[in-house]
Chain A
């Protein structure tokens, strides 16, 4: 099969991400990778729960002292919306509407950047207002590692989307790059799901638990 064959919306297959063997392998391999990532985050969550509020002295800030739900709510909304916009992008990818796909992916990237901006502000706030740092206590190490791993995943996801958009900026959709866009959006959804758990376990349970 010629990988660079040109398609129109009429000839475009129903599941372009799984039409070629390479695409099918990538699709399955990436799902399995996400299975491994799930265990990775599960281990980090378990570590966080074991070390939550474990600090060496009474003068250290605890979860309930620091977290503010309005800020985290905005971050959650940004990331959830970015997941929705990446769904729109994939919808247009499946309909072979390249420009709309690009637009929605670009919106996704900006929403992700906004999320990252808030996260940097949040970390900075904790460090300067509460002296809650990576090295100040076991709680600090566990918090920044869990949330930081998620943040690093966001950075990778944004870099991935950007690279794909730049590389394929002018050549349109084909069966070679469609699976690439699709796996990147799967990754983005996964990041979103992890955040839902962080929101619940770290922030909500941090405020009330």
Chain B
């Protein structure tokens, strides 16, 4: 496969990626674009830290600072963390359950392109009159008063990319329910598959409230509705509820897959089956369930009253129980294991204390009475960066090193990987540990500048230095990616040598049909079972036969492009109405053309039969894959 790809021209490869419905290529698309947005969000973070390095700094203006902090949060959550998780879900989950593809390959591609165009639309705001500036939560009382089109970019961009996320969530749910290989029962699924399953269920039920919230905001800002306008009978708290009914499950959508990655890494490099597997599954499901019961802990100071605050405080603290179960299971998996400290394992080991620190401050914040003190201070900033970076980002970096050989067929350099790890870990704690104290000393969150000689100078400087360590770590990682791709040392099925699950039973990268014959799964950690019985590969569950494959399609790209175009029309028709038809007379036609492109391509998809094609048995027999792991 790869030799054929290298001979083709750049345009042919580009066309292949624009039309692909293969989950492994879509994973690469998610990884590249998620990685790009991660760098963009990272640069925004660096600018924030430079501004706050010294007191009374004039590095950026107050308005630009608001835009930076808003876009940093929005980009990192919606356009970096989630797509990067989707990259690994796409690359690994179908392989882990022994499937040839996801349930809806076409929708998989559509989900990616919607996310991509939504993200591009959101970031174009930088060049078209100013980015959103009301924080990533975009509270209505503030965002309705924001001049310009920044908030409109936020609303429309997130609406488009949110649709893509919802589609991806449904796709993974159906894939995991319907496409498991023979013998792969629910209680034999690897933890990463389980956590993807629960996170997808959270996406399914958490994203519609965001969709509704964004629609209300869109109607208020662009079509004269009055949902949040108190003078017209509106109520601005509705936005806060809808946003956090989405927003709290969202953090579990991020952290659960990271938990799954760590569970697989820890059991692989401890050479032990995961301790308390059933309890781990139960804890994952319970966290997912409780995640919907706690949204109002973001609103303790809104004034919901002591009863509501007490209920949500207790529910929030309850989440610490299943999370604690997970922490102890990870520790006990390592206990007595024969541990290899590879780069992914280093991240996993560092993750446990880092995340526990974030969890402890989480329980502190959950105490409603105490929260009145912490609210809107740097203590909160420190808390959520401890769980998001200490949990999600460490998980993503671990997953990058762990799954890189499976996705690209070559290993990342281990020495450089460990340098990245240490730089990042030191930088992360250096940046955020000290922010707990800044918060307790009274430094408010989202503040543009602080005055000298209030005891904040030194700690802010230390925090900024830490951020530079993290930036350096990312640069080393990028260097690592480039040089290992140039050297391109090919690896076999199981490059880590201790793979336990199905993805390590097939070549790296896998052939486009994944499994020549579907594997027979005989228990948890199916490949490990076969290895323990002296076999090198899985026993097939079926004779060699024709494989049905989906056709590539350009329609998902066009469908998403239509919405991208329509969004510009929807946004600028406000100016057209204000300026009485002068400069923005094109806005309504653009809106209509964009919607016609989208609806038209949906109709084409519906009207044109697409039966896919078959790979014949004879071709499969000719297709020799290089077996043999590291030998």
Which A residues are closer than 8 A to B by beta carbons? 3-4, 21, 24-25, 28-29, 32-33, 35-37, 39-40, 43-44, 46-47, 50-51, 54-56, 134-135, 137-142, 145, 163-164, 167, 176
Contacts and interface: CB of A to CB of B under 8 A. Distances in A.
Given A28-B177, A43-B208, A43-B212, A167 B606 contact: yes
Interface residues of B, number: 42
A145 B238 contact: no
A145 B228 CA distance: 14
Interface string B49-83: 00000000000000000000000000000000000
A43 B242 contact: yes
A35 B205 CA distance: 7
Given A25-B174, A28-B178, A36-B207, A51 B611 contact: no
Nearest to A176: B609
Interface string B158-178: 000000001000110110011
Contacts of B207: 36
Contacts of B232: 55-56, 137-138
Contact of B234 (A25, A29, A138): A138
A29 B208 contact: no
Contact of B227 (A4, A47, A56): A47
Given A37-B208, A55-B233, A141-B219, A32 B170 contact: yes
A130 B104 CA distance: 48
A139 B607 CA distance: 41
A144 to B, nearest CB: 8
A24 B231 CA distance: 51
Contacts of B208: 36-37, 39-40, 43
B611 A176 contact: yes
Contacts of A176: 609, 611
Interface of B: 103-104, 166, 170-171, 173-174, 177-179, 204-205, 207-209, 211-213, 215-216, 219-220, 223-227, 229, 231-235, 238, 241-242, 245, 603, 606-607, 609, 611
Contacts, number: 111
Contacts of B104: 25, 29
A32 B609 contact: no
Nearest to B220: A141
B212 A141 contact: no
A206 to B, nearest CB: 16
Contact of A138 (B177, B209, B226, B609): B226
A6 to B, nearest CB: 15
A44 B231 contact: no
Contacts of A3: 609, 611
B577 to A, nearest CB: 12
Nearest to A38: B208
Contacts of B174: 25, 28-29, 32
B204 A50 contact: no
A50 B235 CA distance: 8
Contacts of B231: 56
A138 B233 contact: yes
A164 B229 CA distance: 43
Contacts of A37: 208
Given A51-B233, A163-B603, A138 B224 contact: no
B225 A32 contact: no
Contacts of B224: 134-135
Contacts of B204: 32, 35-36, 39
Contacts of A145: 215-216, 219, 225, 227
A189 B170 CA distance: 20
B226 A40 contact: no
A135 B603 CA distance: 33
